[in-house]
Amino acid sequence: MNIIYEGKAKRLYSTDEPNEILMEFKDDATAFNGKKKAVFENKGLINKRITLILYRLLEKSGIKTHFVRDIDDTRCIVRKVEIIPLEVVVRNVAAGSLSKRTGLEEGTQLSEPMLEFYYKKDELGDPMLAPTHIRELKLATAEEMDDIGKKSAVINSVLTEFFAKSGFRLVDFKLEFGREEPERKNIILADEISPDSCRIWDLDSGEILDKDRFRRDLGDVMESYQRILEGIGAHAENS
* Residue 234 lies inside a defined structural domain of this protein: no
Q: What is the structure's pLDDT at 234?
A: 95
Q: What is the structure's pLDDT at 34?
A: 77
Q: Which of 50, 148, 147, 139 is nearest to 90 (CA)?
A: 148
* Residue 229 lies inside a defined structural domain of this protein: no
Do 74 and 15 share a structural domain? yes
Do 183 and 76 share a structural domain? no
Q: In whole angstroms, what is the distance from residue 23 CA to residue 65 CA?
A: 13
* 118 strand-pairing partners: 87, 128
Number of structural domains the chain divides into:
2
Do 100 and 111 share a structural domain? yes
Q: What is the structure's pLDDT at 33?
A: 79
Q: What is the structure's pLDDT at 239?
A: 74
* Residue 239 lies inside a defined structural domain of this protein: no
Q: In whole angstroms, what is the distance from residue 102 CA to residue 198 CA?
A: 20
Per DSSP, which regions of 15-125 are E strands? Answer: 20-25, 28-31, 36-39, 67-70, 75-79, 81-83, 86-93, 109-119
Residue numbers of the domain that contains 37: 3-81
Collapsing DSSP states into helix, strand and coil, what is residue 219?
Answer: coil
CATH number of the domain encompassing residue 21: 3.30.200.20
| DSSP secondary structure letter of residue 94 | -
Q: What is the structure's pLDDT at 109?
A: 98
* Residue 185 lies inside a defined structural domain of this protein: yes
Do 124 and 106 share a structural domain? yes
Series of mean pLDDT values for 10-residue runs along the chain (239 residues) = 92 96 97 90 98 97 98 97 98 98 98 98 94 98 97 98 98 98 94 98 98 97 98 91
CATH number of the domain encompassing residue 160: 3.30.470.20
- Where residue 182 falls (left for φ over 0; alpha for ψ -120 to 50; beta otherwise) is alpha
